[in-house]
Structure 1
Amino acid sequence: MAGNLRPLVAGNWKMNGLKASTEVLRAIINDYDAALAGRVDLLVCPPATLLTAFADLAQGHRVAIGAQDCHSELAGAFTGDISAEMIADAGAAAVIVGHSERRAGHGESDADICAKAKAAWRAGLLPIVCVGETRAQRDAGQTLAVVERQVAQSVPDTLPADVVIAYEPVWAIGTGLTPTTGDVAEVHGAIRRQLVARYGGQGESIRLLYGGSVKPSNAAELMAVEHVNGALVGGASLFAADFLAIARGCCG
């Protein structure tokens, strides 16, 4: 864990959750006690259908709510899309942009993601920009080149507000596989150096999350890696006990 940056554990629920899932959020809220809240930030990103319900339930509590994607435009003829302003209006505080499932499944480019990050700031949201290499790219020795290109082109040149970067090796998402702590340290160190070179001191304050098959059994080891400032959690975030155990792993 890097120095004095307060860790963030964000749960990406993906396309999971119905109205009854508010009970999971309620359990997270109830067990996110003052001691844990004093040491780590929690963010839950449900599907868009649950944003308002989750934001209403979390109001007045320490758990923040985020969305999983946004359109770059303020409004218009974009059937099925949701603007950053709509997300903010629903009560959310953050939005994930550039997840590999959006990059691959929806053909999103680095330029698209950069525009979405700018839209998030426009609406007063915290953008969480995702980057990561495929298995083929890792096997070809291209990991750092791919990740550094994504950071360079997906994160705007000017940072008007806070931004979070999440490194998620594509081959580790939902597979149960994770890179070694040495691999994570190499990538996170490279991202940190890139950010400092680009933004100066501001680059030191950007939180870098690790994501990809994070679970209670490996959270503490991963979170102890230098320049890892929290986690972006997939499947484990659907279970209150697992999500909170990962959060506690950040404080080890």
Structure 2
Amino acid sequence: MESMTKKKLIAGNWKMNGSVEANDALVRTVIGGLQGATCTVAVCVPAPYLAQLQMLRHGSALELGAQDVSRHEQGAYTGEVSATMLKDFGVRYAIVGHSERRQYHGEDDQLVADKAKAALAHGITPIVCVGETLAEREAGHTEEVVRRQLATVIHTNGHCITEIVVAYEPVWAIGTGKTATPEQAQQVHAVLRAQLKAATPQADRVCILYGGSMNAANAASLLAQPDIDGGLIGGASLKAPDFLQIIAAAR
């Protein structure tokens, strides 16, 4: 698939939000607004709601995603959810290495790479998150940090790297209302694209999403950048009008 014909991907990350009642209203409204959408649209929901979402999205263009996946296949891993289990619910995407998992759960680069490998082994596309903190950006280490995070994933997954999605999420822009300028975001996306191209001749197949406070107001300018192939949307994905406006901007 060439980059000029590659569909953009807009993936909502609900984080730890939702209720059976609220989910029903939100998802029905989103599905109702997807007619004419030219991008791929997914929502990554808390594990308890996967069954509900599997039913709600049935017959629609909305894809289902999980917010995490275990590196393990099965066994004595209380609280973990395996890729096999996710597959049972029609999950197509799984976020791995979100900055909140790295920060609050101590996930390192190798664990993230192993989770990506577990997802790929079961036909689930991992959305691999990379990004720098404010301190790392101010110290001039942005490129070094994101390249290190992605390098471990490339090393662990080899030729399968063409099947992943990468999400650049500057940690300083998540939930803060701060957003990287389109130029700042594009600069990092170009670094990631070059790194992927060094690893595989099919690097243009890989979607690189922007994931730092993309919203209805800034989506079009971010998505216009040559190496921004979509968005990993946090808070705005919980508001149907905002989410649909972002989807409409992903031409």
Say yes or no: TM over 0.5.
Answer: yes
Distance, in Å, in 1 between the alignment partners of 2:134 and 2:169 is 12
In structure 2, the residue matched to 1:153 is 152
Over residues 176-229 of structure 1, what are the superposed CA-to-partner deviations in whole Å (9 max), with x where a residue is unaligned? 0011221111100111111011112x1111000001111100000110111000
Distance, in Å, in 2 between the alignment partners of 1:69 and 1:248 is 27
Over residues 92-146 of structure 1, what are the superposed CA-to-partner deviations in whole Å (9 max), with x where a residue is unaligned? 1110001000011111111101111111011221111000000000000000000
Distance, in Å, in 1 between the alignment partners of 2:162 and 2:59 is 23
In structure 1, the residue matched to 2:79 is 80
The runs of 4+ residues in structure 1 deviating greater than 3 Å are none
SS at match of 1:105: helix
In structure 1, the residue matched to 2:5 is 4
Residues 121 and 161 in structure 1, CA contact (< 8 A), matched pair in contact too:
no
In structure 2, the residue matched to 1:100 is 99
SS at match of 2:237: helix
Percent identity, aligned pairs only, is 45
Residues 29 and 61 in structure 1, CA contact (< 8 A), matched pair in contact too:
yes
Task: Please tell me the residue identity of whatever aligns with 2:190.
Answer: G
Distance, in Å, in 2 between the alignment partners of 1:214 and 1:160 is 25
In structure 2, the residue matched to 1:32 is 34
In structure 1, the residue matched to 2:190 is 189
Distance, in Å, in 1 between the alignment partners of 2:69 and 2:116 is 9
The alpha carbon displacement at 1:28 in A equals: 0.6
Distance, in Å, in 1 between the alignment partners of 2:243 and 2:85 is 27
CA RMSD of aligned residues (A): 1.1
Distance, in Å, in 2 between the alignment partners of 1:29 and 1:180 is 30
Residues 52 and 91 in structure 1, CA contact (< 8 A), matched pair in contact too:
no
Task: Please tell me the residue identity of whatever aligns with 1:194.
Answer: Q
Task: Please tell me the residue identity of whatever aligns with 1:124.
Answer: G
Distance, in Å, in 2 between the alignment partners of 1:133 and 1:5 is 27
Greater shift in the superposed pair: 86-95 or 163-172? 86-95
Residues 56 and 91 in structure 1, CA contact (< 8 A), matched pair in contact too:
no
Rate the CA distance shift 1:160–1:143 in 2: closer, same or farther, 3 A: closer
Distance, in Å, in 2 between the alignment partners of 1:183 and 1:3 is 22
Task: Please tell me the residue identity of whatever aligns with 2:214.
Answer: V
Counterparts of 1:48-63 in structure 2, within 5 Å, are 48-63=47-62
The alpha carbon displacement at 1:154 in A equals: 2.6
Gaps spanning 5+ residues in structure 2: where? none
Task: Please tell me the residue identity of whatever aligns with 1:26.
Answer: R
SS at match of 1:111: helix
Residues 162 and 206 in structure 2, CA contact (< 8 A), matched pair in contact too:
no
The alpha carbon displacement at 1:250 in A equals: 1.4
**1:128 maps to 2:130:** no
Task: Please tell me the residue identity of whatever aligns with 1:188.
Answer: H
The alpha carbon displacement at 1:55 in A equals: 1.1
Task: Please tell me the residue identity of whatever aligns with 1:243.
Answer: F
Q: TM-score, normalising length from structure 1?
A: 0.95
Distance, in Å, in 2 between the alignment partners of 1:128 and 1:242 is 22
Task: Please tell me the residue identity of whatever aligns with 1:246.
Answer: I
In structure 2, the residue matched to 1:23 is 25
Task: Please tell me the residue identity of whatever aligns with 1:92.
Answer: V
In structure 1, the residue matched to 2:109 is 110
